[in-house]
Amino acid sequence: MEVGVLAVQGDFAEHIATLKGLGVEAREVKLPQHLDSVEGLIIPGGESTTLSRLMTLYDLREPVRSMAAKGMALWGTCAGMIMLAMEITEEDPVPLGLMDIGVHRNAYGRQVDSFEQDLSVPCFGSEPFHGVFIRAPMVNRLGEGVEVLASLPDGEPVAVQQDNLMATSFHPELTNDPRFHRHFLDLVPVVAN
Amino acid sequence: MVDVLTGTFTVKTGHAQMLKGGVIMDVVNREQAEIAAESGAVAVMALERVPADIRADGGVARMTDPGIIQEIMNAVSIPVMAKCRIGHFVEAQVLEAIGVDYIDESEVLTPADEVHHVWKHEFNVPFVCGCRNLGEALRRISEGATMIRTKGEAGTGDVVEAVTHMRAVQDAIRKLQTMPDDELVVEARDLQVSLDLLMQTKEQGRLPVVNFAAGGVATPADAALMMQLGADGVFVGSGIFKSGNPVERGHAIVQAVTHYNDPKIIAEVSKGLGEAMVGISARSIPEKDLLAPRSL
């Protein structure tokens, strides 16, 4: 199994390190041909406007959209969540429009408001997951068929899944806890056939 | 009740991690900030004057008018950084109060304290600081910097000092990795850094925080050079808005940083950019006018 991590900008190296720690082959995806052999793709944290421009410029949008439509596992963290969304509250960046959610960028405030908080993730059991939120986006619309994997105590969803698509507004790649990466890898075999 | 923590080391270093592989551009007004965002900058540095003008004008260079910074913050959705003078913790307090996303405690401004830097741990807003070598980098991290940039020589358009400083940091880390542990105490003493941080650096084989290159980057090839030398990303100060075609040049430098290992792409984006900033050789500057040696 080979998993790609979009590597046009952002903390892709942290995702690759976590995947390698799980014994998974991971590769950087900067150009469309790098997608040829991958069975799953992570869009990392970074600056979403930059990711969006570079994805357009290097013709990555359509291949990612069509592969996701065919069932490729796709996970976006923070800026990646913004890219996966159906719509966002601003005109920029232009999301891929894959997951039936609406997203509000930087909704928790500027960097001084960035925070860490333990999250309850029912599908992982009782052990909380440490959420690291950096200028994080907020899910402001949940479509039918979108499952909430984790929420803040006030009920705001911060980890969501729709079939082969997953999005988190926080950064599991900045922790040493690989449970979200494992969960993502579980979505990959669906693609293999 | 679940604890909510802000201003932690993790969220401060984490923000810098999100900027990796990106270009941070100096801007002096709203229009430039919008151009920078449009060309794909991951953040902007809000300034009254770019370093080339600070150098030309002389006099005392201070924190930018908070009103100008706020105007830039309102103009773009990407992170906004701003500079305070070295050791000027009240300028830092002001920048935190208006909510900038990162403070650059910068040798480009006239130092307010020739001995001490800002004690950055007590701020919620994160700090980036310049360095010329591993000792400076680790001392700044001890004071609470959560992002480092090699200094280069700002406002020159000459990349030589950026290269010198990046190589100095990388060489010192490589030396550290083959150094037996029983020599580390002396090394820490020589570098004037904490043994803990030095051991951490040895173990990780890199600086414990994100390290960008700065000071003299003027072309896409300059930016890619710094990336190949080990930078996590690039600051471009005067190099974009002092050039003939800022939009195209900014866009080209962004692409060169993403594809820094792909000379064909660097060649492609380097075509037809027009005049680079004029530039002054860093070696022609009298020692008293150099910015990089201002803080140790």
**Residues of chain B with C-beta less than 8 angstroms from the C-beta of A153:** 2
Alpha-carbon distances of B288 from A135, A187, B61, B266, B293, rounded to whole Å? 41, 61, 15, 36, 9
**Residues of chain A with C-beta less than 8 angstroms from the C-beta of B96:** 112
Sorted by sequence, the CB contacts under 8 Å of residue B75 that are 6+ apart come out as B30, B33, B34
Mutate which of A114, A121, A154 to disrupt the B interface (most B C-beta within 10 Å)? A114
What is the Rg, in whole angstroms, of the alpha carbon atoms belonging to chain B? 18
Around Cβ A127, how many Cβ atoms within 10 Å? Answer: 10
Q: Say whether B21 and A57 touch across the interface (CB within 8 A).
A: no
Residue A192: its pLDDT value, please?
A: 43
Q: Say whether A134 and B11 touch across the interface (CB within 8 A).
A: yes
Mutate which of B2, B11, B73, B76 to disrupt the A interface (most A C-beta within 10 Å)? B11
Kind and range of the H or E run holding A29: strand A25-29
Per the CB < 8 A criterion, the answer to whether B142 and B164 are in contact is no
Burial of A62: CB neighbours in 10 Å, binned 0-12, 13-18, 19+: exposed
Mutate which of A16, A47, A91 to disrupt the B interface (most B C-beta within 10 Å)? A47
Q: Say whether B10 and A132 touch across the interface (CB within 8 A).
A: yes
Numbered residues of chain A with Cβ closer than 8 Å to any chain B Cβ:
7-14, 30, 45-47, 49-50, 53-54, 57, 78-79, 90, 92, 105-106, 110-118, 132-135, 153, 171, 174
pLDDT band at A189 (very low <50, low <70, confident <90, very high): low
Shortest CB distance from B102 goes to which of A90, A111, A153?
A111
- The token duo for B117 is 């830097």
Q: What is the mean pLDDT of residues A74-82?
A: 98
* Euclidean distance between the first and the last CA atom of chain A, given in angstroms as a whole number: 12
Per the CB < 8 A criterion, the answer to whether B113 and B87 are in contact is yes
**Residues of chain A with C-beta less than 8 angstroms from the C-beta of B11:** 111, 114-116, 132-134
Q: Say whether A8 and B43 touch across the interface (CB within 8 A).
A: no
Residue B161: its pLDDT value, please?
A: 97
- Residue whose structure tokens are 């990303």: B233
pLDDT band at A193 (very low <50, low <70, confident <90, very high): very low
Residue B295: its pLDDT value, please?
A: 75
Interface predicted TM-score of the whole assembly (ipTM), two decimals: 0.96
B76: left (phi over 0), alpha (psi -120 to 50) or beta: beta
Catalytically active residues of A, by annotation:
78, 171, 173
Per the CB < 8 A criterion, the answer to whether B87 and B106 are in contact is no
Residue A191: its pLDDT value, please?
A: 42
B205: left (phi over 0), alpha (psi -120 to 50) or beta: left
**Residues of chain B with C-beta less than 8 angstroms from the C-beta of A174:** 10, 14, 17
Domains of chain A in sequence order: 2-191 (3.40.50.880)
Query: Is pLDDT at A158 greater than 90 in this prediction?
Result: yes
Q: Say whether A50 and B18 touch across the interface (CB within 8 A).
A: no
Give the tens place of pLDDT for each residue, A104-150: 999 999 999 999 999 999 999 999 999 999 999 999 999 999 999 99
Catalytically active residues of B, by annotation:
83
Strands (DSSP E) found in chain B: 4-6, 23-27, 43-46, 80-85, 102-106, 127-131, 147-150, 210-213, 234-236
Residue B296: its pLDDT value, please?
A: 76
> Edge-to-edge, what's the strand order for the sheet holding A157-162?
A25-29, A2-6, A40-43, A73-77, A165-168, A157-162, A147-151
Residues of chain B where predicted confidence (pLDDT) is lower than 70: 1
Shortest CB distance from A106 goes to which of B22, B77, B258?
B77
**Residues of chain A with C-beta less than 8 angstroms from the C-beta of B257:** 9
Q: Compute the nearest-CA separation of A146 from chain B (Å).
A: 26
**Nearest residue on chain A to B40, alpha-carbon basis:** A50
Numbered residues of chain B with Cβ closer than 8 Å to any chain A Cβ:
2-8, 10-11, 14-15, 17-22, 37, 40-43, 77-79, 96, 99-102, 124-126, 254-255, 257-259, 262
Residue B102 C-alpha from the chain's centroid = 11
Residue B1: its pLDDT value, please?
A: 56
Mutate which of B4, B5, B17, B78 to disrupt the A interface (most A C-beta within 10 Å)? B17
